[in-house]
Chains A and B, each alone.
Chain A
Amino acid sequence: MKQNGLIIGLVLVASLISTSMFTVHLTQSAVVLELSKPKKIVTEPGLYFKIPVLQKVRYFSKQLLDNDSPPTEVLTKDKKNLLIDNFSLYRITDPLKFLETVRTENGARARLDDIVYSELRVEIGTHDLIDVVTENRNLIMAKVTEESNKKAAEYGIQMADVRIKRVDLPPEIANSIFNRMRTERQRIAMEYRSEGKEESTKIRAQTDKEKTILIAEAYKQEQTIRGEGDGQATKIYAESFSKDPKFYNFIRSMEAYKKSLKSDTTILLSEDSEFLNFLNKNK
């Protein structure tokens, strides 16, 4: 029995120790509640003591938490609908406030969605669609983060970052974008093809022109050269033949007879002709 008592005592001590101690992990902060009334806030990790039974501990994450909310439609300054999908990163900085206002992370998420979207609506409402899609996206995000952070402070939450993950146009507009893209491409394709035709025609025309010029130049040269030949020949002939035109006349005629009077020629020779003038001498 003495041993039993010892065991029971040991167990009691052990359970007393274990219920009066708690560790706070480095990813956590804790609020010690005494009969549901906040008593102490613990933000540093380590081993802590509490009054057993009377005090309870609520733990909160100190890690960076994410909240990915579903996309919603927002109207831009130029009255265009945009589907915006954002996500936010937040941190519970004041566990007591957090516990008092939103109690749980799920509760916090609903509030954060509201805050972020209202800020986003306000901010995007002052920008044109093109700004949201392009250059000013980072600026808008920074502004929304800042504003949301101010509002979230009352829930003990620090807004680390709000980022627009996706900016899309609503489906019906997407279709008209596709149509526009298609027609734009068709335009470009047509441009390429007609540019090809243009170039091709230009090259062919240039070719034909060059060809015609080449041939004409050649003709010009040809005629000049031939003329030169004829001129020279005429000059040579004239120089030599003018020595005795009558003899030339005679000798050239003889040449011509040889060439032109062939076997298929029939000739009528008069008895009086020079050739036959001895034929009838006897008469």
Chain B
Amino acid sequence: MSWDDLHEQKGSGNRGSGSQGGGSQDKPPFDIPQIQIPKFKPSMFWIILGLLLLVWIIPGTFYFVEPDEEGVVVTFGEFSRITTPGMHFKFPSPIEHASTPKVKKIRRAEIGFRTTQGGGLQKVPAESLMLTGDQNIIDINLVVQYKVMDSVAYLFNIRRVHKLVRSISETVVRGIVGNRKIDEALTTGKAAIQINAQEQIQALLDKHKSGVQIVTIQLQDVHPPEQVEAAFKDVVSAREDKERMINEAQGYRNSVIPEARGQAAQIVRSSEAYREEKISMATGDSQRFMLQYNEYKKAPSITRKRIYLETMEEVLPSMQKFVMGNNKQGVLPILPLKPGALGDATGR
């Protein structure tokens, strides 16, 4: 509050001098010479008059308008003219007054926080905590930037323009937030809030003929109140957790399915190989058999005998053999074909 007042006094300094001019009218500027006259010689009067001219009339006749300012001249309390930057002439004080508002300056109203002298931020919870449509509370900081559009209206229509901008901005933003749900205000609705707020604030300022134009509304910071911030953060991390779990499951899927497909293909291929192998082997065997059979047919008993003996010839040499007589006396080894073969056999 005190900050406001301070600021306001600074801002309204120009206008203050205007209204004082009207009030000081009943105090005549000639009062001083009237009192002093008996003490001085008549010739001194002219000197005093000359001094007065120097001190009062000459400085009161000129005024300067800086490049970022606009001069507004009031003649006998009535608005008379607007002047551009530079040096200008006017009638001295009781007749004309000049104010020089800074029309190019971007003025700034902070809602929900104050920038302190050191440049730090100081929170103002009473301003920043707002009730949303679904009866939650959120913490909003915003900056309203505005400038003077119509210096005459700015100077004369409203006594405390800065205060009005603040109050209206706060009202409008609260109204808008009150119409929204907390999740909307916290996330997607920010841009819409800014645009809406700017329109509505400007409309109200125009309605009261403030002569002020909103440059921007900036929502500096929209977040849940400190008391519940942890819970809100947890929701964000829960959402991340959800994504993570899904991703992990997808990862599992991505590793398992191709592997299974590979495995299945392997099974099928190996069975195919088995089939081909079986068929080829069967074909080979039968082919061999047929070829052999065709020859065998020509001399069956001889061939048969030959094959038998050849087989025996091939098989028997490496084996241990015992030849038994017909006397039925049991096993009688008589032909150890390989030396030590029997010993090997019994040694086992």
Contact = CB atoms under 8 A, between A and B. Distances in A.
A180 to B, nearest CB: 8
A15 B326 contact: no
Contact of A207 (B76, B257, B323, B325): B257
A225 B279 CA distance: 11
A274 B276 CA distance: 40
A192 B179 contact: no
Contacts of B322: 266-269
A250 B307 contact: yes
A176 B251 CA distance: 43
Interface residues of B, number: 126
Contacts of B101: none
A51 interface: no
A172 interface: no
A89 interface: yes
A239 B77 contact: no
B92 interface: no
A25 B324 contact: no
The binding surface of chain B is classed by DSSP as helix
Nearest to B254: A207
B75 to A, nearest CB: 9
Given A165-B170, A189-B234, A232-B282, A270 B315 contact: no
B47 interface: no
B234 A63 contact: no
- Chain A's interface size range is 35 or more
A229 B159 contact: no
Interface string A141-174: 0000000000000000000110111111100001
B117 interface: no
Interface in A208-257: 208, 210-211, 214-215, 217-219, 221-226, 228-230, 232-237, 239-241, 243-244, 247-248, 250-251, 254, 257
Interface stretch (B129-137, B143-151, B187-195, B213-221): B129-137
Nearest to A10: B30
Interface in B201-260: 204, 207-209, 224-225, 227-228, 231-232, 234-235, 237-239, 241-246, 248-250, 252-253, 256-257, 259-260
A216 to B, nearest CB: 9
Interface string B86-111: 00000000100000000000000000
B137 A177 contact: yes
B121 interface: no
Interface of B: 15, 18-19, 21-23, 25-31, 33-34, 37, 42, 45, 74, 76-79, 94, 126-127, 129, 131, 133, 135-137, 156-160, 163-164, 167-168, 170-171, 174-175, 178-179, 182, 204, 207-209, 224-225, 227-228, 231-232, 234-235, 237-239, 241-246, 248-250, 252-253, 256-257, 259-261, 263-265, 267-268, 270-272, 274-279, 281-283, 285-287, 289-290, 292-293, 296-297, 300, 304, 307-309, 311-312, 314-316, 318-326, 331, 345
Interface of A: 3-4, 7-8, 11, 14-15, 17-19, 21-28, 45-47, 57, 59, 61, 63-66, 68, 87, 89, 130, 133-135, 137-138, 160-161, 163-169, 174, 177-178, 181-182, 184-186, 188-193, 195-197, 199-204, 206-208, 210-211, 214-215, 217-219, 221-226, 228-230, 232-237, 239-241, 243-244, 247-248, 250-251, 254, 257-258, 261-263, 265-272, 274-276, 279
10 contacts: A11-B34, A26-B74, A181-B224, A196-B241, A210-B260, A215-B267, A258-B314, A268-B321, A272-B326, A275-B316
